[in-house]
Structure 1
Amino acid sequence: MSTAGPLGEYLRARRELVGPGAVGLPAHGRRRVPGLRREELALLAGISADYYLRLEQGRDRNPSAQVLEALARALLLDAEATAHLRRLGGHAPADRPARRPERVPVGIRQLVGSWAETPAFVHGRHLDVLFANPMATALTPIYRVGVNLLREVFLGQRAPALYPAPESVAASAVAGLRAQVGAEVNDPRLTELVDELTAGSELFRRLWARHDVTVRAGGGLRMLHHPQVGDLELRYEKLTISGTTQSLVVYHAEPGSPSARSLARLGAAVDAPETDG
């Protein structure tokens, strides 16, 4: 961690991603650094250049909520990124519960385990797989208990074969991790994971330095490749498990589609009894 601290690092990273033209400033002339100059951002936010410099260098780490909101507007941050900036500046809710070991609720385990034809798994705040049903593990061994999804995406050998667009998946995973941990960037587990990925992956270093923040609850479409049943076009739903820092991820196919038939074949293989020889 640099002396700038999490807030200063975030401000600098986001400042370098905003071009002058995006905020109505002339883009002509030679610029030594990408994005906005410090004094330009300070002007847009309505604060002094000296005060902004202190924030970015970590010499002032307690800005008011009004200053943070002004900086968020000047940096063109969306709602999620603005909330992240507020947390880094010390304006998160004060009644956050203490961290406890992540355990998947019994009801969720029973529910997910009962889905014989639907791949589903649960991951924790650091993207460790905490529970997975047999269909999820059959879809890919990446979805098995004990696997860290970030480590697999950036350092493993299976993710590029599974995901046709691995860089998009990687960017989403990093932005989701930032959203999950919020301002708690000194969490020892997070520090260990980030250090490992930084040392082993240039792509991770680049994406982590962007400080993108995305709350990944919701859903979408994902193209996967399975070595036995071929290409799969699956929808996924990502649901936050109430009262936890965990997420439930469920895959399903359009009814009657080729992917649904392929998923059914995969399910039949999972259910088939083992035979000798």
Structure 2
Amino acid sequence: MRIAIAHNNNGETLKVVSHLKSRLQAKDAVVFDDKYPDIVITVGGDGTLINAFHRYERQVNSVRFIGIHTGHLGFYTDWQGNEVDKMVDALFLRQPETAAYPLLEVELITEAGGKRHFLALNESAVKRVTHTLEANVYIDDQLFENFRGDGLCVSTPTGSTAYNKSIGGAVIHPRLKALQMAEIASINNRVFRTLSAPIVIAPDQQITLVPNADHFVMTVDGNRIDVRNARKINYRISDQAILFDRFGHTRFWSRVQNAFIGGKDDAL
């Protein structure tokens, strides 16, 4: 079993990483391999896992992820730092099972016909820095609306609890292969009219943005890309998916409740 460990560098994380390595080294079947791992174990928070995903995104179909949580909030991290022994034992006591969650494929096409492709675990947003963004929004090949405002955000179901939620988007269960587009401070008057509500599209459809600007900013999981002379941006559900180790995978709605509501979790 080839294992890679990705982590942040805070004190609590480094203690957990040290203990994790010692437990794994005691297993004869483990080989530490940062280049071609079977399993990527992340120690930290959601940001650590997202960074690890992008490091191994070209191998995403052959790698499964396990997250150990040492911070304040984690949607992708199933285990607590004090559960390392339990996690390692579980890893070797049963056959591997995975939970597959959708990814967002982003295709940026320039005026010259060049293409760039990106994968997002959470979301991709389009904004302008000093002016409002104006863009035609298409669902498949049909013009849906002419948008004007601060920007637009297209998110995956797993990303629906991140930036998407903060701008008024809906929280979507990650087993649904759907994309969501949410508006960022849209302008609505007699000239510019938008739906003024998040939209969720089917897995076989795509969203296309045609910006009426020669310069804007696009983010992919928070990474900023300065874009010039873009003809359009296509968003669709990727044929690839991220694979999480299923053992210990906490119920999604319990995570949402614990993160945003809190209080006692009373089961029916």
Structure with more strand by fraction:
2
Q: Of the two structures, which has the highest relative contact order with CA contacts closer than 8 Å and spacing of 6 or more?
A: 2
**Is the radius of gyration larger for structure 1 or structure 2?**
1
Structure with more helix by fraction:
1
**TM-score, normalising length from structure 1?**
0.28
**TM-score, normalising length from structure 2?**
0.28
